[in-house]
Amino acid sequence: MKVTILLEELLAAGHAGAEYDAWLIRINEGDQFSSGFVEINPNSKIPAMVDRSGPEPVRIFESGAILVHLAEKFGAFLPGSGPERAEALSWLFWQVGSTPFLGGGFGHFYAYAPEKFEYPINRYAMEVKRQLDVLDRRLGESEYVAGPDYTIADMAIWPWYGQLAQGLLYEAGTFLQVHEYRNLRRWAEQVASRPAVQRGRMVNRVTGDAASQLHERHEASDFETRTQDKIAPAESEAAG
């Protein structure tokens, strides 16, 4: 989601060279272990990208690396130098380092583990709440995470902590008392209102209502013509 949000933001900002193809990798079916995908990401994780805009294809894996690559390529959403750049990169890598606690720790034990154990849920919930507090204090000082401008740091953090603050992740908003984090919630809603974020959130999406699911994206018009609510009926008629 971070990467598709950035690509959609780049296109919205007029960078036509950011036009992209997105293919769905079904990790529950093992697509990430196919030889073609492993050639792009030896670690068999999503996301992964191939930049074919130059004389030779360039593979990039890990979301933080992809965001930096694209931001530098187009000269957008990442300051070029100075304290502003350092701040944006610091928050970007804060997200890269912190979300294993949220996704691999709290998310697993709270939402996905076949048995619920109080100790790991409480342990990871405490760390997630500490991270929420860090963000809430920061966003009490600044409109966006890295400063007054919207950057790839916001795009990286929002899919995790922004959606959590809005009650959209793990349905854990009440449990984590996200209503307490007023600055974080203000920022989360501000980012969520951006049309490019809304489009980026749809790409490769396989949950939620069919109108929000765009399994593959190959051109801008796919948002109007290829969401699941539009192609599923046609596929059913063809099968019939």
Chain segment 172-231, per-residue pLDDT in tens:
989 999 999 999 999 999 999 999 999 999 999 988 899 999 999 999 999 999 999 998
The length of the chain is 240
For CATH 3.40.30.10, list the domain ranges present in the chain.
Answer: 2-74
CA dist 139 and 184 (Å) reads 6
Side-chain half-sphere exposure of 44, counting CA atoms within 13 A: 10
Residues 191 and 162 sit within 8 Å (Cβ to Cβ): yes
In CATH terms, 82-198 corresponds, of 3.90.1150.10, 1.20.1050.10, 2.170.150.20, 1.10.1060.10, to 1.20.1050.10
Confidence check: pLDDT of 7 > 60: yes
pLDDT (tens digit per residue) in 11-23? 999 999 999 999 9
What pLDDT is recorded for position 233?
A: 65
Question: What mean pLDDT is reported for the chain?
Answer: 94
pLDDT (tens digit per residue) in 105-115? 999 999 999 99
What pLDDT is recorded for position 101?
A: 84
Q: What is this structure's pTM?
A: 0.93
pLDDT (tens digit per residue) in 21-37? 999 999 989 999 999 99
Would you call 45 exposed, middle or buried from its count of C-beta atoms within 10 A (0-12, 13-18, 19+)?
middle
pLDDT-derived band at 239 (thresholds 50, 70, 90) equals very low
For CATH 1.20.1050.10, list the domain ranges present in the chain.
Answer: 82-198
Dihedral sign for Cα atoms in the order 131, 133, 137, 142: positive
CA dist 76 and 205 (Å) reads 25
Q: Which fold has domain 2-74?
A: Glutaredoxin (3.40.30)
The residues, any chain, with a CB within 8 Å of residue 63's CB and separated by 6 or more, are 2, 3, 47, 96, 156
Residues 220 and 4 sit within 8 Å (Cβ to Cβ): no
Residues 172 and 19 sit within 8 Å (Cβ to Cβ): no
Residue 22, phi then psi, degrees to nearest 5: -125, 130
CA dist 32 and 9 (Å) reads 26
